[in-house]
A and B are shown apart, each in its own frame.
Chain A
């Protein structure tokens, strides 16, 4: 069965303090790994899709990377507005189009 584990569960950073969030996964055949950002009381907002090991995607202060077992979301010089829950999800090639999500990492960036 597909599994997605995110760590840490919660992370507190000072503004400008770079760090990384981890997403470990097991899936029978990966079609894609997805990162989302979710603010309280809102729906997830799409950030990145990664398809194969070695792939990297960047957007502003965020960079996502992928290996065969895990993905990292690197946050460089974060700002308070980066505070949110970051969700990782996998889509398996043989399981239709359902996304299987982890529980997320709750990030708080303080000034």
Chain B
């Protein structure tokens, strides 16, 4: 069990550029989640996949955000036309369908300049 991995760990981009993050869940987990966390706040839910199906999306997930999990394994989160307000830690988590606890990856810290 290697845990949830995320890539890259850090990303600095200029406003208006597109960025894409990758998440590899724990291998036997079929549920995958994306959260966003800003300084001094708890993580905020963005979206959730059951296998390859995207089943929940938060109001926080604007049209500039898109997430995919094409084969039910790894997932990508793309942010188009980044804004300074997108600067945050983007966390991925996974869980099995036999338990409710979610296991988080190390996160991708995005800085938009």
A contact set with B: CB distance below 8 Å: 4, 31-32, 34, 36, 41-46, 49, 87, 89, 91, 96-104
Contact = CB atoms under 8 A, between A and B. Distances in A.
A99 B43 contact: yes
A102 B33 contact: no
A99 B102 contact: yes
Interface string B36-55: 00001111110010000001
B28 interface: no
Interface of B: 4, 31, 33, 35, 40-45, 48, 55-56, 58, 91, 93, 95, 99-107, 109
Contacts of A103: 40-42
Contacts of B106: 42-43
Contacts of A96: 48, 55-56
A97 B48 contact: yes
A44 B95 contact: no
Contact of A102 (B42, B56, B103): B42
Contacts of B103: 46
Given A43-B105, A89-B42, A104-B42, A98 B48 contact: yes
Contacts of A100: 45
Nearest to B92: A43
A46 B101 contact: yes
B45 A46 contact: no
A44 B91 contact: yes
B101 A49 contact: yes
A31 to B, nearest CB: 6
B85 to A, nearest CB: 19
Contacts of A101: 42-44
